[in-house]
Amino acid sequence: MTLKQLEAFYWAATCANFAIAAERLHLSVSSLSKRISELEVSLGMPLFDRSAHRALLNEAGQALLPRAQALLDNAATVRATFAPSAGLVGRCAFGVGELSALTWLPQFIAQVRREHPQLTLEPYVDVGSVLESRVARGELDFAIIAGRSSHYDILSQPLSQAQFIWVAAPALAASSKPPSLRSAVDLLHAGQPMIVLPPSAGTTRLIDDWLLQHGITAVERINCNNWGAIAGMLIASVGIGILPAGWSQKLIDQSLLEPLIDSELPASLSYSFQWRRGDNRPLLDQLRRLCTQCVDFTVDMSRPLSA
């Protein structure tokens, strides 16, 4: 029995299928299967039921899984204890939304590279629902997602919040009657469309609550899955919308957009560090700590990163 065999078994047992497990270990599926077969031979019993379309843990495999995980955790602790200066090694695949990619992500990657130069980071940018599913399937080690996960198999730790404001192009804002109001409510009542992220985005709940609070029941929505494109349409006076408060400040300073008088939404959007239940690897503890230090949705990435 070897740690590599146990590692192959752990990932095969906790990922959605052998293909994902092999990808996480940067092996071919045949190499992964070979390591698992060698482990089964050394134990004298099968660990998976392979009679169905997808291999599933049998009773012996279920009994072995927590023990294998404990052995792998202990091995990682031993490595960290006797070679503390080496830091984390290997690869880490994780997911973030576009707002994270536009704000704190570059600083986070720079910080991880300074502290753990032998760790290769593989960030993926997508909407929260997609990232959550990829974490559950074992394709990602963790993700930074708006809200808390509803999946039992995923744990969530709150990290930070993002505040959003209503904005419009100066010419469009001035069209509010009377012009001194420059109100999102007035502009929406006047028939201006909202330019927003798709319904699956976390900001949808914030906007729906705000509309309900102001008694607005019918409004045209132009959905777009990219903050940069949304900002561009707002600058072009296509409609009004919300933007992250910190990230949009440069556009406001350049007079390309103008905050409306009812600009700040009453609630902010909370983001959390999400990972699979039972995954206690030191890797996650360390990166969760660094995320706590680095996640900041007010960061202006037009400034150079700190040394």
pLDDT confidence tier of residue 83, bands split at 50, 70 and 90: low
For the chain, the residue count is 307
Nearest-10 crossing angle of helices 3-14, 59-82: 120
Residue 226 burial by Cβ neighbours in a 10 Å radius (0-12, 13-18, 19+): exposed
Per residue in 170-204, pLDDT (tens digit) is 988 776 555 555 788 888 988 999 999 988 888 88
Q: What is the pLDDT of residues 26-60, one digit of tens each?
A: 889 999 999 999 999 999 999 999 887 788 899 99
Express each pLDDT in 54-76 by its tens digit. Answer: 888 999 999 999 899 889 888 87
Helix, strand and coil in the chain, % to nearest 5: 45, 20, 35
Percent of the chain with pLDDT over 70: 92
pLDDT digits (tens, 9 = 90+) for 119-130: 999 999 988 888
Per-residue model confidence (pLDDT) at position 305: 38
0.75 surpassed by pTM: yes
In the predicted structure, residue 84 carries a pLDDT above the cut 90: no
Q: Rounded mean pLDDT of 259-283?
A: 82
Average pLDDT across the chain, whole number: 87
Q: So what's the pLDDT on residue 30?
A: 93
| 197 CB-side CA count, 13 A | 22
Judged against a pLDDT cut of 70, whether residue 86 lies above it is answered with no
Long-range contacts of 54-61 (CB under 8 A, 24+ apart): 54/17, 55/12, 55/17, 55/18, 57/13, 61/9, 61/13
| Higher local confidence (pLDDT), 265 or 62 | 62
pLDDT for 124 equals: 94
- Average pLDDT, stretch 286-301? 87
Stretch among 9-13, 69-73, 174-178, 287-291 having the lowest mean pLDDT: 174-178
User: What is the rounded CA–CA span in Å between residue 151 and residue 132?
Assistant: 9
111, 84 contact by CB (below 8 A): no
pLDDT for 301 equals 54
Task: Extract the tokens encoding 49.
Answer: 């039921």
Beta carbons of 158 and 274 less than 8 angstroms apart = no
